[in-house]
Structure 1
């Protein structure tokens, strides 16, 4: 039986503890806490969950934890607020640069792609050797 929680179908073959991490906003440690609180064995497979356990899990997650669309909306609104108040972090988000203090002269390709936004990055090789 496939279980859907907050619009995400959980993988049947995984253990419940690991399968819950498929839901955006639930990591491994949070999944352990949820299962511990509900008294569900974390070692059983998702396909082996009883219907009442699955319903209890679904109700708990959808009512008490911010996941999926609601969490994504909150993150986006936080970033939008930072941009509106023109904070340093907001400016970094606006310019698509690393926000958390990483160096940008080298090693910020993942965030930017290979676009030259700082002096040393994306520099074209010189035409002749010196």
Structure 2
């Protein structure tokens, strides 16, 4: 089992899918990385060599923000929106959907569990 960017890649999966277990790498990025390392998309994740792993690590370090760096980038982007006081920032601050979805019904994921009739926001 290879360990790349602090993530254990799963066994018995195609490399294209295994790389998506790294936060910040999707299918498209995984394919680009595998093209640069000259690995087949459908090669098994437990059949890669140490040289292949080193090549993937080098590409990730040089070109892609992954794991903690990526999470920090996203958090900073959201914080910037909130500091600006723009509409999206206000929606983030209030914990409401910020991409135009309706909130009269639905939006429960963003708003949290329902409150009873006696519970008010303070």
TM-score, L = length of structure 2? 0.89
Distance, in Å, in 2 between the alignment partners of 1:14 and 1:62 is 23
Q: Does 1:26 align with 2:15?
A: no
Q: Which structure has the bigger radius of gyration?
A: 1
Q: Count matched residues.
A: 117
Match of 2:107 in 1: 108
Runs of 4+ in 1 over 3 A off after TM superposition: none
Match of 2:120 in 1: none
Unaligned stretches of 5+ residues in structure 1: 117-121, 125-130
TM-score, L = length of structure 1? 0.84
Match of 2:36 in 1: 37
Question: Secondary structure at the residue paired with 1:73?
Answer: helix
Unaligned stretches of 5+ residues in structure 2: 118-122
- Once the two structures are overlaid, the 10-residue window that deviates more, 77-86 or 35-44, is 35-44
- Once the two structures are overlaid, the 10-residue window that deviates more, 14-23 or 38-47, is 38-47
Distance, in Å, in 1 between the alignment partners of 2:52 and 2:37 is 9
Deviation at 1:93, TM superposition (A): 0.2
